[in-house]
Structure 1
């Protein structure tokens, strides 16, 4: 199941050695034959199809097949009218996702590549949601073509954000970051246009309950075209696995081959999304199962992956209906992620990582760095202006004169009630939470030496969300004050697990920690979605909290965050020089006498404590810890004593803007500030990374 490094010798170009998507069998051990892989996939698919058709309401099972043949209308309606469309959708979509993942893994030579990890499914889903809510007419253009355009655009964005690099940490982090951004935009559209989107939230997690025979039959030609195209590229993909230089030497047009495989992959993923919605990890797991059986050549790999992918998706749907915690149906995509995320963890843990070059987490331009004093002063002034604007704006407009009067102690009842008791505490909570997330993100980016590393996509926020959701669903009568404690415990457990799984040979490579953290993020997010979508209690509150919200935050929450910030100030000041040393790589800190592993652990633990405290108060907020440190680094450089204060100011400003806009745009209703923070910050993040790569 793990990806193996190539033989010793010159490393082929076009990506690190660790990025090979076709791990070789262990020396001296032969895997099962290709016939067993294909035959086993066919038998497994046949068995799960029968079980899938047999399960359901209506009192009809496989024993009623003779009645179907005899023309029983009730049996015919249940099996052919109700269950067969769902089964057909699972077969078509599962096969399409699996072949799509196999093509992507081979094209970029990355074993962690899949339609969901590289943003393709999220892009296709966003395109379909946007078409639904805007009412744009696409004429005869089918919904699969709309998803194809969205998926293709998302793949292009991921490539641009990753800077064309195929190494696992950069490519997958770029894919996860773009997926988070696109998912946030989709969630925002669903929230703003609830009447137009209907039950799209449930479908957005990937569900066979929305199966439609016509859509499945329409997607069949796409599956056939994608599979046939992949088989035509099979020989070239086999050679590409040996490296770009070798492939070029043998006459393979590497650029055209890779582009063709990616286009076919996006086409297949788009067709599957049009049938079932976005479903993750099928495209990751099915090709690895086939490779584990000893199949390497794509002429057999692609058809076998299609069989296993169809069986895996049907099995996930069957488990979703059988094991729902409350009897409510859980989307198949949630269960697929719940069982697929551990596979990602195993692959990430065993993957030989490419060491990141020592230095800054992102490029900086010498000669253009702004002095720290003016930057801090300007950031503080900007934050003050944004806070004042947030106090005035909202469902109830407050005249500026009332704000001045309140500041001088002469404010009226309106100013005291709306501003002092309601808006000011929540804005200050938003500012502190944003600053803590930004500082934590700056620490992680510097230690991991990766500009896309963040505790949100490394499992900490996901663990906090799972801890809170577990309390809300399993213990609905527990006081709300327990929620932050559960969130903090979940975040700490997620980080401890990720750190422990990342240890190999007595040390933790930052690159592996990032990849394992992504797996933890996927696992905890899937577990949270499983609880929330199947829950009958306080679901709306859970969804609001999981989207990141400062709603109803008061002086008590502000006091908790204030105390946490004060307690963290001293160890953070002590850690500044050590953070700079950790950014220099592995050898230099050891040469200077720094206990590398112990220092890295406690510095990261400090970042986790900051992020977990913020998440416990305002919920899961993505991208503040990504965007704010990156923007600060462009102005101040990478030294921690300059970077972290400015990042904190930028993070606070971003959260204040998100809170103000969120409670103003559709007042008296609110948009969760976490969604808006992602929507506001992500375009800047992608643009800066693209610009830095060009520079």
Structure 2
């Protein structure tokens, strides 16, 4: 398979080169072509093999079938530190050193935050949340230093593109020597499978072996990231393929895993070039698209073994008067809105200018007012979406960004934008709705048997989001979209808000909020078990379907207008329940006010902090939201 794929790989490219040319006498033209294609092939083989071996050793160290450099956040940490090194230490040519430090930092965070249980689903979900957090930080740096990081976008998505043999010269010693050391250590890794006590009883220096195993996995991943960027899912798939083939013992598994990693990565690169022969598609996006279903399957198997422990969406016993809280939040939102509207051109509007009509002149009304209104309406609607999902799924991690609505909607909207650019604007939210529906259906059907267990549902949503993100990256590169606007849209921004957007959002608000409030008493009953809810006269299935449809509509329309802003739907309902209790008729208005106010604040800070450079508000929300998810997980 590897030989056949390698031949296919070598003949691919813009310049014609047949299979016969590979075995005939080479002229200068052939040598020039092969000077680019052959290094790309060798780097692909070595990188795929290193990532696969890293996945195998990490799965052994964590005793976790879901572990890999990608799912544990190691790739994201390495990528973040490489970007930091490129931007702030341009004279230091030490990409591997930065990559290694970032990988170590990510592994340390995951190990510390996953908890003592180190259950398979929990540790991987922690790793993927760390990936989201580091991804937000990396995107922020790329946007703030657009010129300096101009060449990092394609590499950051994972690419095998090589211009010479320097990449091969760097990575082959790591692949050779670390691979040999891994094979020589195979017997010791075999003993770890017997359990810690049994391994110690057989004389294994357990602490040393585990430290060496983690170092081996991090070194292999770091070397790969520093050359080809963060490529995920290879280390997840290859070891499982080897085990499914019945190969036992780590010595043999390392050899076969290396080969299968090379096969998968070269096949993904061949496929990406078949899809887009005239442009460079990131192979990392292709492996994410291929590997996400594998992660879903493994997460589904792991979730079935977990003891389902339903979490009640309870709040503090001491709650505040909802009317007082709502009025107070309205006052806060008005103050925040005024501050945001008054800021422009690097300065605030003075009191004298305000009374002179500065805040209602043509420029302010055309640009600042719709931006602030869109921020509030999107934040409020996303909060409503999160409240519905958390209630109907009895899941404190319910959020449109976590269960795939945001990324699915983004992929659907971008697909309409790229494939059918001549269609009117009305079709953009339609594409977003279709994408969101498909993402949610996958997540819901995959977690139904486990009873929508919180952590497994979140992990399934992350897997769907990874697949959708791969589609988005492919479409972005395929359509030759400008890197900066693409990053802004993917991160979420209200930069291009218009009055048409305000009208769309107001229509949704006027229709959906009263309808949801009319269902609030029935939605309160869903907090009980299905048997109790049915005995009280509630149509449980109809309520759940209706709530999910409303949530999908909200998430999809918001994505089509402002891009992928996440975590508002997670933060606002939790804060609302802490303030006014868990009664749904109280949670809805309070959480919507909190969500709207949060996004206005994020939007203002995105313009103010680094003026005139603007940070997407979605990134600021993610920097707060990702740590909060980790906090919620610690309580589950």
Residue in 1 aligned with 2:289? 338
Secondary structure in structure 1 of the residue aligned to 2:227? helix
User: Is 1:527 aligned to residue 497 of structure 2?
Assistant: no
1:612–1:160 distance in 2 versus 1, CA, 3 Å: farther
1:438–1:247 distance in 2 versus 1, CA, 3 Å: farther
Query: In the alignment, is the contact (CA less than 8 A) between 1:88 and 1:213 conserved in 2?
Result: no
Residue in 2 aligned with 1:380? 330
Deviation at residue 290 of structure 1 after TM alignment = 1.1
Deviation at residue 597 of structure 1 after TM alignment = 5.0
Deviation at residue 632 of structure 1 after TM alignment = 4.7
Residue in 2 aligned with 1:24? none
What does 1:9-48 correspond to in 2, within 5 Å? 44-48=1-5
Per-residue Cα deviation, 1:50-92 (whole angstroms, up to 9, x for no partner): 3322333444444335555xx744433332x212211121112
- Separation in structure 2 between the aligned mates of residue 211 and residue 361 of structure 1, nearest angstrom: 55
Q: Higher mean Cα deviation, 528-537 or 668-677?
A: 668-677
User: Is 1:498 aligned to residue 421 of structure 2?
Assistant: no
**Equivalent of 1:435, from 374, 380, 389?**
380
1:67–1:486 distance in 2 versus 1, CA, 3 Å: closer
What does 1:334-483 correspond to in 2, within 5 Å? 334-351=285-302, 352-360=304-312, 375-395=325-345, 397-401=347-351, 404-405=354-355, 411-412=357-358, 415-445=360-390, 447-448=392-393, 451-483=396-428
Deviation at residue 386 of structure 1 after TM alignment = 1.7
1:554–1:353 distance in 2 versus 1, CA, 3 Å: farther
Q: Higher mean Cα deviation, 612-621 or 228-237?
A: 228-237
1:608–1:229 distance in 2 versus 1, CA, 3 Å: farther
Per-residue Cα deviation, 1:139-166 (whole angstroms, up to 9, x for no partner): x7x3122111112212233334433443
- Separation in structure 1 between the aligned mates of residue 391 and residue 124 of structure 2, nearest angstrom: 18
Deviation at residue 559 of structure 1 after TM alignment = 2.3
Query: In the alignment, is the contact (CA less than 8 A) between 1:548 and 1:620 conserved in 2?
Result: yes
User: Is 1:280 aligned to residue 280 of structure 2?
Assistant: no
- Separation in structure 1 between the aligned mates of residue 89 and residue 105 of structure 2, nearest angstrom: 20
User: Is 1:111 aligned to residue 65 of structure 2?
Assistant: yes
Query: In the alignment, is the contact (CA less than 8 A) between 2:143 and 2:487 conserved in 1?
Result: no
User: Is 1:56 aligned to residue 13 of structure 2?
Assistant: yes
1:298–1:668 distance in 2 versus 1, CA, 3 Å: same
Query: In the alignment, is the contact (CA less than 8 A) between 1:327 and 1:534 conserved in 2?
Result: no
CA RMSD of the aligned region, Å? Answer: 3.4
What does 1:507-656 correspond to in 2, within 5 Å? 512-536=456-480, 543-576=487-520, 582=526, 598-632=542-576, 640-641=584-585, 643-656=587-600
Per-residue Cα deviation, 1:633-668 (whole angstroms, up to 9, x for no partner): 555565545555444333223311222233345556
Query: In the alignment, is the contact (CA less than 8 A) between 1:161 and 1:174 conserved in 2?
Result: yes
Deviation at residue 421 of structure 1 after TM alignment = 3.0
**Equivalent of 1:122, from 76, 82, 101?**
76
Q: Higher mean Cα deviation, 540-549 or 422-431?
A: 540-549
Deviation at residue 228 of structure 1 after TM alignment = 4.2
- Separation in structure 1 between the aligned mates of residue 376 and residue 385 of structure 2, nearest angstrom: 14
1:613–1:402 distance in 2 versus 1, CA, 3 Å: farther
Secondary structure in structure 2 of the residue aligned to 1:112? coil
Secondary structure in structure 1 of the residue aligned to 2:260? helix
Residue in 2 aligned with 1:29? none
TM-score normalised over the length of structure 1: 0.82
Query: In the alignment, is the contact (CA less than 8 A) between 1:358 and 1:585 conserved in 2?
Result: no
Unpaired runs of at least 5, structure 1: 1-43
Residue in 2 aligned with 1:30? none
**Equivalent of 1:133, from 65, 68, 87?**
87
Query: In the alignment, is the contact (CA less than 8 A) between 2:115 and 2:634 conserved in 1?
Result: no
- Separation in structure 1 between the aligned mates of residue 607 and residue 454 of structure 2, nearest angstrom: 39
Residue in 2 aligned with 1:14? none
User: Is 1:191 aligned to residue 148 of structure 2?
Assistant: no
Deviation at residue 440 of structure 1 after TM alignment = 2.3
Deviation at residue 134 of structure 1 after TM alignment = 1.3
User: Is 1:86 aligned to residue 40 of structure 2?
Assistant: yes
Residue in 1 aligned with 2:32? 77
